[in-house]
Structure 1
Amino acid sequence: MKLITFRTLFLIAFCYLCGVSCQDKSYLDDGGKASPQYNGTVMQFLESRPDLFKKLVSVIHYAGMENTFQNGNITFFAPTDYSINRSMQKLNNYWYNIQGKDSVSQIEQIKPEVWKDLLSMYIIPEKYVAKDIPQLDTVAMDAYPGQAYVSENGRAMNLGVVYHDANGVKYAGYRQLLFSYVNDFANKDLTNAYVATSDIQPNNGVVHVLRFIDHDFGFNNSMFITKAVAAGIEPPKTNVNQ
């Protein structure tokens, strides 16, 4: 009897502390997912998140690509500032340590056409959310290859949904988008970028935010370095906002 009384008192206290009536079981209902819609353009969404995309927005303006992000019908795999900074740092290390030149610290030291070329790799014409994209298994690509797409600048890219395993059950776990630069599809040679947040839907497209911890801007940092150096590195400019 004491056990029943204690349990009852415990439940009453718990419900009171949670601000929920014990008779009201609405807190058990699924509240649903957050709305993926964003009331604005892709450009405006990026500008609304300076914590992630401040430098990316500067790159877009510097490369003269505002119209694409403001008016184009696009799917954008958004690299964060962390990815840009990582590639900039590797370029800077090469430029200073190998070439013995002054530091590359500003995006304006790299020619705008380089930024435009590499940034266009992350843009796929038209809108694609996760449900539109086929399955991809990186160790069984003959069965689940994802799907090939052509980027804004005409490069071959691959896109698929990876079905992770769960509790020993194949493909029963969470699903994650994988966006890849195709080095050699015949040999399944891809440079991969995992999506951290998917299906953000501004008025003129879809944004999938790439995982920043392991992605270098340009997919292959040697490509970023080679293109930047070949185009010519400018000296640092004064009074430039990054």
Structure 2
Amino acid sequence: MKNYLLLLALLGCFACKKGLQDYRHAKPVSEVKVSTYDFLQQQNGLYDTLLLLINRVHLADLLKNEKVTFFVPQDISIQTAMRNLNFARARLGDAGNWTLDSVPDIVWDSLLRRYILAGIVDADSLRYADGSDLVSLYKHGMNGKVAGTNASGQVGGGTEVIQFADRNESRFIKDWSVALTQNVDITSKNGIMHILESRHVFGFTSFVGKAYPRSLEPIQGPYLGYPVEIPGIVNAADYDEGPKEVAFHYNNPNGNHNYRPDAPGTENCSQGDNQVSAGGNYNIGWTSDGDWVRYTVNIKAAGKYKVELRIAGNGGGIIYLEIDGVKVSDEIPIQGTGGWQSWQGAFGTADLPAGVHQMKVRIKKANLNLHRIIFTKL
């Protein structure tokens, strides 16, 4: 009896293993008797937005008559891309109310063609370890690779999907943008379709940048998201967001970067605190003659201000201030303090205009660290 039960258990194990094997390699294949375009049109409104764009850029005839492979993005993917576009516009101060009609046809055309390949590319042709490099219409580089999903507690034990990737003009996989299929190998009268998952965002990572090029420009403006108020404290490490020669000019990019990754070196300040912002815990250093950093400030009242520079360093230097490119302070001499974290005040005055302005702290002569600038109305 024991031997009989053991035999049944072993047979059960083999049966389970075979079931997993069959399930892992199961590949739902379907065939429709109409063209790719007509199939999408018959799906009860699921692809209305996609079809609208296909018609707009004159791809309907191709999807009706040419032998092509179509990795089909769903309408929700296009809607997500539009939400991302309007979010980017609103974040940069433009109206976040664009519709499909607001996006130039050339953008829709160039991106839709990334999903269409000449000829038939089925899942069986994409079983290489690194996938297969593919060329879409307009010769944009893509990649396709069959992969197994996870199921029944087994990695790769589920149904197979295609990883369809935009190579972003790079040979390195880390740079690729990948979409997964929901259904594969739906053959039509003139081609084959692979339906992409609904969580895919249309255009991979290219849609917002192509539709709204301003979103690709480096972010510029106050680091905290708002101008720093004067009178008050301007923490040196909170210089403006932006590229070199816009937010800063720094000759030595090799300092520490404890607070910011940019060229101006930032390090923990021995007299640091959270006044105004977290930037109050840091100072800038590794300064050279001719360096400058820019701050967007909101000056509450025009007039003369006392300026206190919180300085540390062995050699001293000279600092002065500019507002919108105009020198507004005297040249403030800096004495050595006896250590890079031995902080003292260096004092001067500045004539400041009211309103929001860009202020540059110019380091004419440098051998110093700067923690903050304190403005007091006289």
Does the alignment reach a TM-score above 0.5?
A: yes
Match status 1:70 vs 2:55: no
Say whether 1:36 aligns with 2:30.
yes
What is the TM-score normalised by the length of structure 1? Answer: 0.71
Which residue number corresponds to residue 77 of structure 2?
A: 83
Change (3 A) 1:187 1:81: closer
Note the C-alpha offset of 1:37: 1.1
Q: Which residue of 2 aligns with 1:58?
A: 52
CA RMSD of aligned residues (A): 2.4
Aligned match of 2:119: 126
Maintained 8 Å contact 2:35/2:63? yes
CA distance in 2, matches of 1:229, 1:164: 35
Structure 1 residues 31-70: Cα deviation after superposition (integer angstroms, max 9, x where no partner): x997611111111011111442110000101112112111
Match of 2:209? 226
Matching residue within 70, 83, 94 for 1:100: 94
For the pair shown, which has the larger CA radius of gyration, 1 or 2?
A: 2
Structure 1 Cα separation of the partners of residues 28 and 108 of structure 2: 33
2:147 to 162, 170, 178: 162
* Number of residue pairs the alignment of both structures matches: 188
More moved, 164-173 vs 33-42: 164-173
**Alpha-carbon separation, structure 2, partners of 1:196 and 1:56:** 17
Correspondence for 1:46: 40
Give runs of ≥4 in structure 1 deviating > 3 Å: 32-35, 164-173
What SS class does the counterpart of residue 59 from structure 1 fall into?
helix
Gap regions ≥5 residues in structure 2: 1-25, 215-378
Structure 1 match to 2:194: 208
CA contact (8 A) 2:69 2:121 kept: yes
In 2, Cα distance between equivalents of 1:86 and 1:33: 29
Q: How far 1:152 moved relative to its partner?
A: 0.8
SS of match in other structure, 2:58:
coil
Distance apart, 1:170 and its partner CA: 6.2
Identity value in percent: 27
Paired residue for 1:10?
none
Distance 2:172 2:162 in 1: 21
Change (3 A) 1:96 1:169: closer
More helix by share: 1
| SS of alignment partner, residue 75 of structure 1 | strand
SS in 2 for 1:99: coil
Partner of 1:186: 172
Which residue type is aligned with residue 77 of structure 2? S
Structure richer in strand, relative to its length? 2
1:149 aligns with 2:138: no
- 1:238: which partner in 2? none
> One-letter code of the match for 2:191?
G
The one-letter amino acid of 1:127's match is I
**Change in CA separation of 1:39 and 1:96 when aligned onto 2, cut-off 3 Å:** same
TM-score, normalised to structure 2, is 0.46
Q: Does 1:199 align with 2:195?
A: no
Deviation string 1:62-110 (CA, Å, 9 cap, x unpaired) is: 11211211112110000000000000111112223423225112x1211
